[in-house]
Structure 1
Amino acid sequence: MVHVWRILRHEKKWSAYVKKLSNEKDKSATPNPAQVVNVEVDPKQHPVGHKKAKQERNGKRPAPEAISAIDQKLDKFIEVCNKAEKMAEVQEGLANKKLEAAQLNHKTAQEQTKCKMLDLYKELLSAPTNDLSEEALAERSKAIESMRLALFSKDN
């Protein structure tokens, strides 16, 4: 009988029967045949038939509940991965747009500064110098020279 036990020891019917036997209070009494026949806990679910159990055990027929559960989890995993990839792409696009906007703002600020400096340069050139002291004239010429270099240098 050991060879039969080795085959049946992992089957649902045998496990349920052993569990039922171990849960009984009176271990010395013989089990009631009515209790042995109804080994499943869920009355709506029928026990697996002999051929079906044999096919599942030999790997010819997969267990449908396990496969459907794995398929559902795999589908959810793939869906979450796809959403994560899309979110990463959107975030990367937003980061690139923010960088472009910052660069444009920086260039705009530089151009505005250059325009203001050019206006001031024109003012200094066209301002009358008759009533300026020697120190004021020296300061004016230094300011005009530094502005000229900043505005009209070859690398700008």
Structure 2
Amino acid sequence: MDHVYGHVTSGWENIRSVFKQNLDDGLDIGASLCIYYRGNCVVDLTSGWKDPETKKEPYTSDTLQLVFSTSKGIISAAIALCVERQLLDYNAPVARYWPEFAANGKQNITISELLAHRAGIACVDEDNLTVEDGCNWSRMVSLIAAQKPHWEPGTAHGYHAHTL
């Protein structure tokens, strides 16, 4: 990629190099990266294309990007903090902390299996699930708690895109 736009604060230049390399290697088509450290913007970069076929519109800091699973990293960090503080145990069954989760054969699924996408609950078996349903905390918690695993927990991997 010829052009990477934006700024990088002194000491953060390696981030720019990796960002550019991802584009040069074809790992990204268009990208934007903004990093705040201790309340200050230290990296704010964009590069690439909105449409790699036409290469007419550059990817900018205003480009809208469809993003999935951004909360998974935050949830994992929060769980790691809870484990460090001995509030949770990775090897404990989820049902120890959320008893309703034990329904339909999920009583032995561990936090570790859930985080590793090995719990067998990649989705919920609910016809006509709406966006409103997906945004309704109580509804989704009930559906996940009631969900039967799609495979024997711990035996296979399947990305839990719409659950946990």
TM-score relative to the length of structure 1: 0.21
Flag the structure with higher strand content: 2
Whose RCO is larger (CA < 8 A, sep 6+)? 2
Flag the structure with higher helix content: 1
TM-score relative to the length of structure 2: 0.20
